[in-house]
Amino acid sequence: MEHLAAGRTADVRIAGLTKNYAGAVTAMADVDLTIPSGEFVAVVGASGCGKSTLLRILAGFEQPSAGVVEVGGTPVTGPGPDRGVVFQDYGLFPWLSVRENVGYGPARKKLPKAEVAAITDRFIAAVGLTRFAGKYPAQLSGGMQQRVAIARVLANDPSLLLMDEPFGALDALTRSDLQAELKRIHVDTRTTVVFVTHSIEEAVFLADRVVVMTGGAAHGVPGHISRIVPVELADRDVTSPPFNEVKREIAELVHTVPEPV
Amino acid sequence: MTTSTVPVEAAAPTVPVPPARRRRGRLRTVLLGLPVPLLFLLLWHVGRENAWELPFGIRMGFLPYPADVARGLANYAFGTRDDAFSNLLWEDLPASALRVLSGFALATLVAVPLGVLMGRFSTAHALFDPMINLFRPIPATAWVPLVALLIGYGDQASIFLITLSAFFPVVLGTISGARQVPERLLEAARMLGTSGVGTLLRVVLPAAAPAIVNGMRVGLGLSWVILVLSETTGVPTGLGSTIFLARDVVQTDQIVVGMICIAVAGFLSDRLLMLLFRVLFRDRPLIK
Ligand SMILES: Nc1ncnc2c1ncn2[C@@H]1O[C@H](COP(=O)(O)OP(=O)(O)OP(=O)(O)O)[C@@H](O)[C@H]1O
Ligand SMILES: [Mg+2]
């Protein structure tokens, strides 16, 4: 794999964030979270606690009902290429080849053709898909499609990478491959990452800090952050006792049912 | 690549069908396609010979023999018997094809952009939907007298009727295609820096392509259906005009010849349209 140069990076400031959906569903209330530039944050929590909502607000797909959401000091008003989103279902354009999908963002920036081509080649190589550059998404396996989706947002040089259960639909082997790749990419680029997952092991393996959320409509409490656990393991060996210590601590938090108000 | 993780999964292999089996499959299709039309021709011949009377008051005695139609077709195309219809095919076909093409192209040019807007914006839909529902049920036949008064006789009237008929299937196909664009793809495009108008061109149009192509095929087929009617507007040449001329001189074999030519032209134009898309899109997965 090729090494990537350091990219852009930005801090995130969320304060007093509340989101109500139509029909008086308060998906989350009073969420505060500050993420320094370059940090890798994982978000875990039971289904319906508002993880996706939080990510979609950061992406600009949803508007907050109240509160402040800033990325790199600028309030988020809508989606933009400075915040790359990787979806669980990839969201690749089926009618574009791997090369065209990855080159899509740079081409929108009206860069010269040669530069678009160079960027595209670099990021396709970075995810190890050079031989598949001419293929269409339907001709690739799920793992390869998600690699394309990652290369596609990285080619935009985002300062924030938002990932919603990106490896949730992949088999265990592909999943651990992609985790290792993502980690390497993060070490190279130092882009800030917010990574939503259901796998506590994945969260502990990847993240600098794990945000644990609870609540949600099913519990009669709006979704909120219950604890932020720093992962201070030098060695992320998933079989090591310290790793499992952290995993257990987070699992307990995730399974603690919040008191209804 | 310098280190570690090389993708282990390969693309899903497509198992090729052995050519021998594929050929046998095609042969079977051809063989099974033959008996019914042959029986039809035989019954036609026998029915004509015995002047059968069929339900609906069909008097088969008034039909030409299939062989007469074949001779008429040869004359229409190659002037084998030197009458009013000799060699006319090569004047009629281009004239009719040009009308169909103009009407259909005009309809598509208006219907696709309008359909994209109506499929994506509720305001555009609310503005135009009542008009479409009002005009769509009016059959082209009902337009003929009014068109004769408003436009008069000639090519313009003929093309107008074709445009009108081809418009509705294309616009309805485009609307339904534009509505079914996966929200995820629009989100992806916006998060990658696509502007509002950009998403219409770069996401909605390609994602709706299968539905648009279907609508266009229906519209083109309908254009040929309407052709005969549209050539009642006093245009001198055309496959439809010649059918009416044949009726006026009571030459039934020539009427049937005209019907066959329109059917073949309609069929071929559909194939040509699909070929055009295949050349334009190559193996790009735009048509399902
Ligand atoms: N578009 C919407 N309209 C109305 N309610 C919504 C909408 N999107 C999410 N919700 C509600 O908001 C709450 C939080 O949903 P969200 O998708 O953020 O949860 P999540 O933590 O991502 O869950 P999961 O782990 O199942 O993905 C849920 O109660 C959900 O039903
Ligand atoms: Mg979710």
Q: How far is CA B216 from CA A120, A248, B115, in A?
A: 35, 60, 12
Q: Which two tokens stand for residue B18?
A: 């052995």
Same domain, A178 and A235: yes
Mean pLDDT taken over chain B: 91
Domain final residue, candidates A141, A157, A173 = A157
Say yes or no: ipTM exceeds 0.95: no
For residue B14, the model assigns a pLDDT of 55
| B262: phi then psi, degrees, rounded to nearest 5 | -65, -40
Residue B125 has pLDDT above 50, yes or no: yes
Please, which pLDDT band fits residue B41 given cuts at 50, 70 and 90?
very high
Q: Which residues touch B130 (CB under 8 Å, ≥6 apart)?
A: none
For residue A115, the model assigns a pLDDT of 95
Q: Percent of chain A having pLDDT more than 70?
A: 98
Q: Is the CB of A53 under 6 A from ligand 1?
A: yes
Please, which pLDDT band fits residue B1 given cuts at 50, 70 and 90?
very low
- With CA atoms as reference, report the closest residue to B246 among B256, B237, B236: B256
- How much is the average pLDDT of A39-61? 95
Q: What residue ranges in chain B does DSSP mark as E strands?
A: 53-54, 58-59
Residue B157 exposed, middle or buried by CB count within 10 Å (0-12, 13-18, 19+): buried
B154 in the Ramachandran plot: left (φ > 0), alpha (ψ -120 to 50) or beta? left
- Here the CATH number for the domain that contains residue A78 is 3.40.50.300
Same domain, A189 and A232: yes
Q: Is the CB of A216 under 6 A from ligand 1?
A: yes
Q: Which residues touch A146 (CB under 8 Å, ≥6 apart)?
A: A86, A90, A166, A167, A170, A178
d(CA A195, CA A43) in angstroms, rounded, equals 6
Test site for ligand 1: of A53, A63, A87, A200, most ligand atoms within 8 A of the Cβ: A53
Instruction: Judge contact between A68 and A232, C-beta under 8 A.
Output: no
Instruction: Judge contact between A138 and A92, C-beta under 8 A.
Output: no
Q: Is the CB of A52 under 6 A from ligand 1?
A: yes
Residue whose Cα lies nearest atom 7 of ligand 1: it is A21
Task: Give tens-digit pLDDT for B223-279.
Answer: 999 999 999 878 889 999 999 999 999 999 999 999 999 999 999 999 999 999 999
Total domains in chain A come to: 2
Task: Give tens-digit pLDDT for A53-97.
Answer: 999 999 999 999 999 999 999 999 999 999 999 999 999 999 999
Q: Higher confidence at residue A6 or residue B254?
A: B254
The amino acid at B255: I
H or E element, residue B186: helix B183-191
The amino acid at B195: S
Q: Which two tokens stand for residue B260?
A: 């066959």
DSSP SS3 for A141: coil
∠A257-A259-A260 over CA atoms, to 5°? 115
Q: How is chain B split into domains, by residue range?
A: 21-63, 89-281
Domain final residue, candidates A139, A157, A175 = A157
Same domain, A100 and A221: no
CA-nearest residue to A180 within chain B is B5
User: b vs e for A224-256, b when ≥16 Cβ sit within 10 Å of the residue's Cβ?
Assistant: bbbeebebeeeebeeeeeebeebbeebbebbee
- Does residue A205 belong to any structural domain of this protein? yes
The amino acid at A156: N
DSSP SS3 for A83: strand
Q: For B193, which of A81, A180, A181 is closest by C-beta distance?
A: A81
Q: Which domain holds residue A152?
A: 93-157
- How much is the average pLDDT of A144-156? 96
d(CA B145, CA B148) in angstroms, rounded, equals 5
- How much is the average pLDDT of A134-162? 96
For residue B4, the model assigns a pLDDT of 43
Q: How far is CA A232 from CA A77, A204, A206, B190, in A?
A: 34, 10, 11, 36
The total of other beta-carbon atoms located within 10 Å of residue A259's CB is 9
Same domain, A174 and A213: yes
Atom of ligand 1 nearest to the CA of A23: 4
For residue B8, the model assigns a pLDDT of 44
Q: How far is the CA of A205 from the centre of ligand 2 (A)?
A: 20
- With CA atoms as reference, report the closest residue to B143 among B62, B247, B232: B232
Residue B7 has pLDDT above 60, yes or no: no
Atom of ligand 1 nearest to the CA of A213: 21
For residue B16, the model assigns a pLDDT of 63
Q: Is the CB of A191 under 6 A from ligand 1?
A: no
Residue B13 has pLDDT above 60, yes or no: no
Residue B9 has pLDDT above 70, yes or no: no
d(CA B27, CA B238) in angstroms, rounded, equals 36
Q: Do A174 and B187 touch (CB under 8 A)?
A: no
Same domain, A75 and A183: yes
Place of tokens 């929590």: A45
Residue A16 has pLDDT above 60, yes or no: yes
Residue A7 has pLDDT above 90, yes or no: no
For residue B150, the model assigns a pLDDT of 93
- With CA atoms as reference, report the closest residue to A16 among A80, A85, A70: A70
Please, which pLDDT band fits residue B6 given cuts at 50, 70 and 90?
very low
Task: Give the count of alpha carbons within 13 A of B53, CB side only.
Answer: 1
Domain final residue, candidates A108, A131, A157 = A157
d(CA B110, CA B132) in angstroms, rounded, equals 13
Q: For A61, which of B187, B206, B285 is closest by C-beta distance?
A: B187
Strand partners, A194: A41, A162
- Does residue A88 belong to any structural domain of this protein? no
d(CA B49, CA B67) in angstroms, rounded, equals 12
- With CA atoms as reference, report the closest residue to A225 among A239, A211, A238, A243: A211
Same domain, A151 and A163: no
Instruction: Judge contact between A178 and A167, C-beta under 8 A.
Output: yes
Q: Do A85 and B8 touch (CB under 8 A)?
A: no
Please, which pLDDT band fits residue A256 given cuts at 50, 70 and 90?
confident
- With CA atoms as reference, report the closest residue to B116 among B57, B26, B54, B176: B176
d(CA A178, CA A199) in angstroms, rounded, equals 14
Same domain, A72 and A176: yes
CA-nearest residue to B11 within chain A is A140
d(CA A178, CA A207) in angstroms, rounded, equals 14
Same domain, A191 and A234: yes
Q: What is the 3-state secondary structure (H, E, C) of A211-233?
A: EEEEEEHHHCEEEEEEEEEECCC
Mean pLDDT taken over chain A: 93
Tell whether domain B89-281 is in CATH 1.10.3720.10: yes
Task: Give tens-digit pLDDT for B50-76.
Answer: 999 999 999 999 999 999 999 999 999
- Does residue A9 belong to any structural domain of this protein? no
For residue B17, the model assigns a pLDDT of 67
Q: Is the CB of A93 under 6 A from ligand 1?
A: no
Residue B12 has pLDDT above 70, yes or no: no
d(CA B42, CA B117) in angstroms, rounded, equals 53
Instruction: Judge contact between A207 and A231, C-beta under 8 A.
Output: yes
Residue whose Cα lies nearest atom 11 of ligand 1: it is A27
Please, which pLDDT band fits residue B2 given cuts at 50, 70 and 90?
very low
What does DSSP assign to residue B203? I
